[in-house]
Amino acid sequence: MPKIRATLKSRLADIIPEWKGKVLDLPLPDTVLTAPCVVITFAEEIQKSSWAGYRRIIKIWPYAQLAGGGMEIVEGWSEKVIAQLHNQRLEDDQGHAFTCVYLGSSEGDRVDLLSGLMTRPLRFGVYVPEQGEDQKAATSQLTTASQEMKASAAQTDATDGANVLAAVTATDPWLEALNQWTRQQLGSSWSIYNDAWPSGYLAPSILWRLTGVSTAASGTSAFDLRKQWVGHVYAASEKENKHIASELVQRLNAEVRIPLNLLERRYLTVSEASADLQADAFLNGQIRLTLLHRTQRKLPDAPLIRQVTNKPVLDY
């Protein structure tokens, strides 16, 4: 669990030097505040999604003297705080990370009755990924040829009905192939995550998560298996997010096929790839990808000739 409060206090003091030593928790009712200062309050906490973790609402209240500029000063501070915290990854002193997303201001200007200071709250959502044993970067687990063959064999066994639960623990060879392709495009400086953001996620990084599976008949002897993926491109800036997401989509469409198992000459076909460059990188993901693989049906064993009937005709 990251130290959200302490990390935010330190970060706010760095953004606005006038707040050093004056980043406060919720004051008591009879406390008289002295400007300039800022107060942090925490609100509700909810489970947001399986890949982003839970969301905690925080409010940041910058206080300024009315005689010294009042709301103009508050607005100037607010612009700096939003620019430095929105969609930013913060890390505490133990390496636990969380992301801040500006959610707007649901309240108007206020005057503190005891001190006469002006303020307006800034509302942020703090997203904290849940820590799990299976959340790990694909960086350290890129599939080798032997590992890929084992994963493929495990999936085949599950398909045959020998043990369906074996497929739960086996690594999805499609995902490993996608990780391999992504690593070739982005290089070793990027971290690659699967299914959910880990508690100590890094930037730059990309998250691939499976969102759907479908099949369609392709004749009587084969069917097309499709898997839909969402890609989250989380780089150093919004501009870089858009550029990388756009470039990956272009390369996916140009690639057409992604190697699934080179030894067996099996490939994944890029059925569709698109990018929503306005989507939130951490929460929603910008890339929509559909991969396709044609699979032969396993027909039941049957005799080639079911029956032979002989009716001789005699000529007289």
pLDDT digits (tens, 9 = 90+) for 196-220: 998 888 889 999 999 999 988 877 6
Torsion sign, CA atoms 277, 50, 273, 201: positive
Ordered by where they begin, the domains of the chain are: 4-128 (3.30.2000.10), 138-296 (3.30.70)
**Residue in 155, 153, 152 with CA at minimum distance from that of residue 168:** 155
pLDDT digits (tens, 9 = 90+) for 91-121: 998 888 899 999 988 788 999 989 999 999 9
Bigger pLDDT: 307 vs 265: 265
Judged against a pLDDT cut of 60, whether residue 299 lies above it is answered with: yes
| Count of all residues that appear for the chain in the document | 316
Which DSSP symbol is given to 68?
Answer: T
Which DSSP symbol is given to 29?
Answer: T
pLDDT of residue 223: 82
* Max CA separation in the chain (angstroms): 129
CA 125, CA 102: separation in Å to the nearest integer? Answer: 6
**Residue in 127, 117, 123 with CA at minimum distance from that of residue 42:** 123
Which DSSP symbol is given to 139?
Answer: G
CA 245, CA 277: separation in Å to the nearest integer? Answer: 7
Q: For 147, phi and psi rounded to 5 degrees? A: -65, -40
pLDDT digits (tens, 9 = 90+) for 76-87: 999 999 999 998
Judged against a pLDDT cut of 70, whether residue 227 lies above it is answered with: yes
pLDDT of residue 58: 95
Judged against a pLDDT cut of 90, whether residue 255 lies above it is answered with: no
pLDDT of residue 64: 94
Please say whether the beta carbons of 77 and 126 come within 8 A: no
pLDDT of residue 44: 86
Task: Find the angle CA(200)-CA(201)-CA(204) to the nearest 5 degrees.
Answer: 145
* Identity of the amino acid at 168: V
| Count of other CB atoms within 10 angstroms of residue 313 | 4
Lowest mean pLDDT among 52-66, 147-161, 233-247: 147-161
Give residue 157's pLDDT band: very low, low, confident or very high (50, 70, 90).
Answer: very low
Please say whether the beta carbons of 183 and 251 come within 8 A: no
Place of tokens 């044609």: 294
Judged against a pLDDT cut of 90, whether residue 39 lies above it is answered with: yes
Look at residue 69 and give its three-state secondary structure. Answer: coil
Mean pLDDT, residues 27-35: 89
Give residue 308's pLDDT band: very low, low, confident or very high (50, 70, 90).
Answer: confident
Quote the mean pLDDT of the chain: 84
CA 15, CA 18: separation in Å to the nearest integer? Answer: 9
Mean pLDDT, residues 252-259: 90
CA 225, CA 266: separation in Å to the nearest integer? Answer: 13
Give residue 277's pLDDT band: very low, low, confident or very high (50, 70, 90).
Answer: very high
Give residue 307's pLDDT band: very low, low, confident or very high (50, 70, 90).
Answer: confident
Mean pLDDT, residues 157-182: 71
pLDDT of residue 193: 95
Give residue 47's pLDDT band: very low, low, confident or very high (50, 70, 90).
Answer: confident
Query: Across the strands, what pairs with 90?
Result: 98
Please say whether the beta carbons of 227 and 258 come within 8 A: no
